[in-house]
Chains A and B, each alone.
Chain A
Amino acid sequence: MRRVTKLAAAVTATATLALTATACGESSTESGGGKKNKGVGLAFDVGGRDDHSFNEAAARGTDKAEKELGVKTKEMTAGNNETEETREQRLISLAKDGYNPVIGVGFNYGKSINKVAKDFPDTTFGVVDEQSHTKNVVGMTFAENESSYLVGVAAAKKTKTDKVSFIGGVDNALIQKFEAGYVKGVKDTNPKIKVEVDYLYKESDKGFNDPARAKSMAKGMLARGNDVIYSAAGQSGAGSIEQVSKKKGAWAIGVDSDQYRQKGLEKYKNAILTSSVKNVDVAVYELIKSVKDGKPLKGNQTFSLKEDGVSVATSGGFVDDVMDDINKAKEDIISGKVKVPARP
């Protein structure tokens, strides 16, 4: 009896596989589609619209476009630990339903967007933080090392213990760019200052979505006498900012958006010295506008200090007394006198 049922099970399994292998029926790309100009398709990275950081900056760009250009936006969000297949599927869903442009926020979309774009030649795709390898993909990258250099100057001027630190979300090339600029900025201002550098995760994207881990890491850094902590870790940064706000005299440096002005972080804003702002919103808006005007952007676009693609936030007025140093450093970078490395 047992033998028979088990055999039957094995046979059914093979039969099911064989059946599905022929994959009968229409495909999802055949049925939908055809409806053009539905608006902007925006695919967020992990953390989603309200990460108070990088995704939120992109959302500001689409919000502005909705208001000023009258376009509609469809938003979708990535989950933790997802795979290429899932990202591709998300982009295909948006493109085949007629959204144009389709924008992927974050380098995670680099491979998938360049691949999917080939199947939708009439749609403009945009990817933030990655290069374009396909004709209808716009790669929007930023000089984060330059703005990080400037907040490094601010940190060096503000520390009382001569110990500052850096928390990166994931130890990858992009976040190392933040680290490299920051460390150089601190050391150029005062070589005696010690910079403690640590990353939340070696290789998992969870690093951008794990505030609890950032919180405990910040706790350790504060205990070791660091009094300025710069976190480049997406949504995780909220955790370290919260921790820093509990200690008097310690400063947090925000990232991507002007975190002093963010509603979700309002309780801790008096601990936010400044933020290294990446104007993702400007880039996203420019792309949407170009598509709307019928002259879509092409190729790779870099946004640096020179183009105001990155900047330093001054809200709260905490860096007013060191603004001269920051402005001088900014001029030196733009003129080429100071070269900011992109790798530590």
Chain B
Amino acid sequence: MSRWKEKFGVQSVLQALAAPALALLAAFVLSSVVILATGKDPFHAFFVMIDFGSKSDSQVWIINKAIPYYLSAAAVAIGFRMNLFNIGVDGQYRVAAFFAAVVGGALALPGVLQIPVIIIVAMAVGALWAGIAGVLRTTRGVSEVITTIMLNSIAGSLIGYFLSEDKLAVKDGNLFHTPTIPESGRFFLIPTDPDPIYGTVVVAVVIGLAYWFVIGRTRFGFDLRAVGRSESAASASGVSVRRMVVTSMLLSGAVAGLVGIPTLLNKSFSYGTDFPTGVGFTGIAIALLGRNHPFGMALAALLWGFLERTGIQLEFEGYAQEIVGVMQGIIVLCVVIAYEIVRRVVLRRQQREVGAELSARAGAGTEQDGTEQKAGATA
């Protein structure tokens, strides 16, 4: 038995390394082909990306950009772990950020109170918005994919309705935005040179640790993963699937509610018509890329930030603006495909080994043609 364990131990390490290496190589080759097809030099492009992306102001920019991406990916991943597709992170964070901004702009409390209030409002609104989809799924059996997509659209209209001068917004040039959050309600900055890092990076780290702990180390996390693997098996062992669906949808929504917080409390201090949209969809790609793993998603979010940062420089150097978007797509596809290929190869090898072992035992039982069978099986 110990021999087996050792063998699979080595193999699982190999598997863990093989897939990302394969994906990276394939993404590199395919991206080069695409750049070549546009008539440009791919190696110069990679040089520009690495050179520019490693500058100190680029590092800060990338981290700041990665914070909302990471939070968004974590929100998506909570659903993914139990086979629940929360496509609505986009709507959830926008509604959440909007109402958090409204509350934040209306209050003038000391910072120790004001910031938690804003964050709690954001999480509550996000959870509520996602909860609608959860309740509809458990009570009416409506697919959460459909409802969350529809709720995205409703979120946009809801914000559009309230974001006018006679409702909850003020006019500023061509923009409408909620009243600005006072100084006391803003998050701290980490003073790095030349630009500061958003203090909300702490929020992302806390969420990452909480995600790792709750999913991997608690009864709840175990139940969640069990439902993801097989609903019937989970309910047979006493897990209430309905309650899990609603709870994880609420959790996913609460984390989604945090996605807008870095922008709101570190950058814009209000929710306006220019508030970033689409981060919820980026989160899906990052969760896929990071394999729903708390550390993997952090790397993926940073990679995304790196690509976006260097993309601007690539355009400046005369490369097509869309190259970076193409690269992002290629990387996600390569990662998904590479993991699937490696999984299948490993599965086949395991099956073969188990088969060999079984036939060896059968051989030992009959004793006569045991050696023959074993030879046949290993051949």
A-side interface residues toward B, CB under 8 Å?
Answer: 1, 6, 9-10, 12-14, 17, 20-29, 31, 74, 76-77, 79-86, 89-90, 93-94, 97, 107-108, 110-111, 129-131, 170-174, 201-204
How many angstroms from the CA of A27 to the CA of B295 in the assembled complex?
Answer: 27
Say if the beta carbon of B201 comes within 8 Å of chain A: yes
Say if the beta carbon of B157 comes within 8 Å of chain A: yes
Say if the beta carbon of B273 comes within 8 Å of chain A: yes
Interface residues in B41-56 (C-beta closer than 8 Å to A): 52, 54-56
Say if the beta carbon of B186 comes within 8 Å of chain A: no
Closest 9 CB pairs of A and B: A202-B160, A9-B295, A81-B278, A107-B174, A28-B55, A27-B57, A23-B56, A83-B276, A174-B174
Contact A89 B312 (CB under 8 A): yes
Say if the beta carbon of B351 comes within 8 Å of chain A: no
Contact A21 B197 (CB under 8 A): yes
Contact A6 B175 (CB under 8 A): no
Say if the beta carbon of B356 comes within 8 Å of chain A: no
Please list 13 pairs of residues, one from A and one from B, whose beta carbons are closer than 8 Å in the complex, sorted by A's number.
A6-B212, A6-B216, A17-B205, A26-B55, A27-B55, A29-B57, A76-B315, A81-B277, A83-B276, A85-B65, A172-B174, A172-B273, A203-B277
Contact A22 B274 (CB under 8 A): no
Seed contacts A6-B212, A13-B208, A27-B57; 17 additional CB < 8 Å A-B pairs? A21-B192, A23-B192, A25-B59, A26-B56, A27-B58, A28-B55, A76-B321, A77-B321, A81-B278, A89-B312, A107-B175, A130-B173, A172-B174, A173-B173, A202-B159, A203-B160, A204-B277
Specify which chain B residues have a CB less than 8 angstroms from the CB of A85 in the assembled complex: 61, 64-65, 267
Contact A97 B274 (CB under 8 A): no
Specify which chain B residues have a CB less than 8 angstroms from the CB of A82 in the assembled complex: 276
Contact B175 A172 (CB under 8 A): yes
How many angstroms from the CA of A210 to the CA of B306 in the assembled complex?
Answer: 28
How many angstroms from the CA of A267 to the CA of B194 in the assembled complex?
Answer: 52
Specify which chain A residues have a CB less than 8 angstroms from the CB of B171 in the assembled complex: 173
Say if the beta carbon of B163 comes within 8 Å of chain A: yes
| Contact pick for B295, options A10, A94, A203, CB 8 Å | A10
Classify the interface of chain B: helix, strand, loop or mixed: helix
Query: Could you tell me how many residues of chain B have their Cβ less than 8 Å away from some Cβ of chain A?
Result: 55
Specify which chain A residues have a CB less than 8 angstroms from the CB of B163 in the assembled complex: 202-203
- Given contacts A29-B194, A85-B65, A203-B160, whether A172 and B176 have CB atoms under 8 Å apart is yes
User: Who on chain B is nearest to A131 by CB?
Assistant: B173
Say if the beta carbon of B374 comes within 8 Å of chain A: no
Contact B174 A173 (CB under 8 A): yes
Say if the beta carbon of B190 comes within 8 Å of chain A: yes
CB distance from A340 to the nearest CB of B (A): 18
User: Who on chain A is nearest to B12 by CB?
Assistant: A1
Contact A28 B57 (CB under 8 A): yes
Specify which chain A residues have a CB less than 8 angstroms from the CB of B111 in the assembled complex: none
Specify which chain A residues have a CB less than 8 angstroms from the CB of B273 in the assembled complex: 170, 172, 203
Specify which chain B residues have a CB less than 8 angstroms from the CB of A25 in the assembled complex: 54-56, 59
CB distance from A74 to the nearest CB of B (A): 8
Contact B295 A23 (CB under 8 A): no
Specify which chain A residues have a CB less than 8 angstroms from the CB of B312 in the assembled complex: 76, 86, 89-90, 93
Contact B55 A204 (CB under 8 A): no
Contact A84 B268 (CB under 8 A): yes
User: Who on chain A is nearest to B156 by CB?
Assistant: A202
Interface residues in B267-305 (C-beta closer than 8 Å to A): 267-268, 273-274, 276-278, 293-295, 298
Contact A13 B295 (CB under 8 A): yes
Specify which chain B residues have a CB less than 8 angstroms from the CB of A203 in the assembled complex: 156, 159-160, 163, 273, 277
Contact A84 B274 (CB under 8 A): yes
- Given contacts A17-B201, A89-B61, whether A1 and B56 have CB atoms under 8 Å apart is no
Specify which chain A residues have a CB less than 8 angstroms from the CB of B313 in the assembled complex: 93
How many angstroms from the CA of A94 to the CA of B60 in the assembled complex?
Answer: 20
How many angstroms from the CA of A86 to the CA of B313 in the assembled complex?
Answer: 11
Say if the beta carbon of B308 comes within 8 Å of chain A: yes
Contact B176 A173 (CB under 8 A): yes
| Contact pick for A24, options B56, B65, B212, B293, CB 8 Å | B56
Specify which chain A residues have a CB less than 8 angstroms from the CB of B175 in the assembled complex: 107, 110, 172-173
Specify which chain B residues have a CB less than 8 angstroms from the CB of A6 in the assembled complex: 212, 216, 295
User: Who on chain B is nearest to A78 by CB?
Assistant: B321
CB distance from B58 to the nearest CB of A (A): 6
Specify which chain B residues have a CB less than 8 angstroms from the CB of A1 in the assembled complex: 9
Interface residues in B152-166 (C-beta closer than 8 Å to A): 156-157, 159-161, 163
CB distance from A140 to the nearest CB of B (A): 13
User: Interface centre among B174, B192, B325, by most A CB within 10 Å?
Assistant: B174
How many angstroms from the CA of A28 to the CA of B59 in the assembled complex?
Answer: 10
How many angstroms from the CA of A74 to the CA of B156 in the assembled complex?
Answer: 35
Interface residues in B13-67 (C-beta closer than 8 Å to A): 52, 54-61, 63-65
How many angstroms from the CA of A89 to the CA of B205 in the assembled complex?
Answer: 26
User: Who on chain B is nearest to A8 by CB?
Assistant: B295
CB distance from B16 to the nearest CB of A (A): 9
Contact A20 B216 (CB under 8 A): no
| Contact pick for A27, options B156, B194, B321, B325, CB 8 Å | B194
User: Who on chain A is nearest to B316 by CB?
Assistant: A93
How many angstroms from the CA of A111 to the CA of B272 in the assembled complex?
Answer: 12
